[in-house]
Amino acid sequence: MTVNEINKLFRSMDKSIYTEFRDYVALHVMLDSFGRVDEVLSVKKSDIDFEHKSITFQRTKNRRVRTIPLTRQSIKLIEELINETEDFESEYLFLSVFGTRLTPGTFRKHLREIVDRSGIDKRIHPHLFRHTASKMFLEQNGSLRVLQSILDHADSSTTARYAHVLDDTIKVQHGQFTPINLLKKKAKTRTKRSNSSK
């Protein structure tokens, strides 16, 4: 997904409605934490460290607990969501309108409805947010090795699927910052070469 598509999707959500605000927070957390949908929707309130601004995934694909930093914006959204659902007295963060833990199936259904309404002509599913976050991380010069740790890939070859993004970033950065550019700028400041007669 592009930044414009994500913003378009987020703008199409009516955050005054509980279910849409909850889904907005979930998508925001998915992007910020690079988390899988099952991991994010399994998060308990106790898994959020507000002081250190982080989220801990207890229920992971590789069965390894991992803690990921979160931005101040994500923490603020999580706090708002907890305030919205305090009457349910549930240990889970993402809840249905009945106060039960939100399931990935229900979340996927809601996301499809939101995407259809947004007018984005692309197949958008929860795991795409993980891929998009990874791509954006590398495009901003994030380390492939750090990304491997964030994504919890046991095999570096799995993360290496994103290497083409890193290659593209290198090409763009090289084009912008190659020393040859400085030489060209210097050459432009010189006077026109005079013809020497022999």
> Tell me, what CATH number does 24's domain have?
1.10.443.10
What range defines the domain where residue 110 resides? 3-123
Please write the tens of the pLDDT for every residue from 137-196: 888 878 777 888 788 765 556 555 666 655 666 566 656 766 667 666 665 555 555 555
Please write the tens of the pLDDT for every residue from 57-107: 987 777 788 888 899 999 999 999 999 999 999 999 999 999 999 999 999
Q: Kindly state whether residue 43 falls inside one of the protein's structural domains.
A: yes
Tell me: the pLDDT tens digits for 119-128?
Answer: 998 999 999 9
* Residue 24 placed within a domain: yes
Residue 64 lies in a domain: yes
Q: Residue 23: which residues within 8 A CB-CB, separation 6 or more?
A: 13, 107, 110, 111, 114
From the CB of residue 138, how many other CB atoms can be counted at a distance below 10 Å? 23
Q: How many domains does the chain have?
A: 1
| Phi, psi torsion values for 54, nearest 5 degrees | -150, 165
Whether 194 is covered by a domain: the verdict is no
**pLDDT score, position 103:** 97
Asked if residue 40 is part of any domain, the answer here is: yes
The answer as to whether 75 is a domain residue is yes
- Looking at the domain assignment, is residue 83 inside a domain? yes
d(CA 81, CA 49): 15
Contact (CB, 8 A) for 78 and 25: yes
For residue 145, being part of any structural domain is answered with no
CA 34 to chain CA centroid, nearest Å: 5
Residue 144, C-beta contacts closer than 8 angstroms, at least 6 positions apart: 138, 159, 160, 162, 163, 166
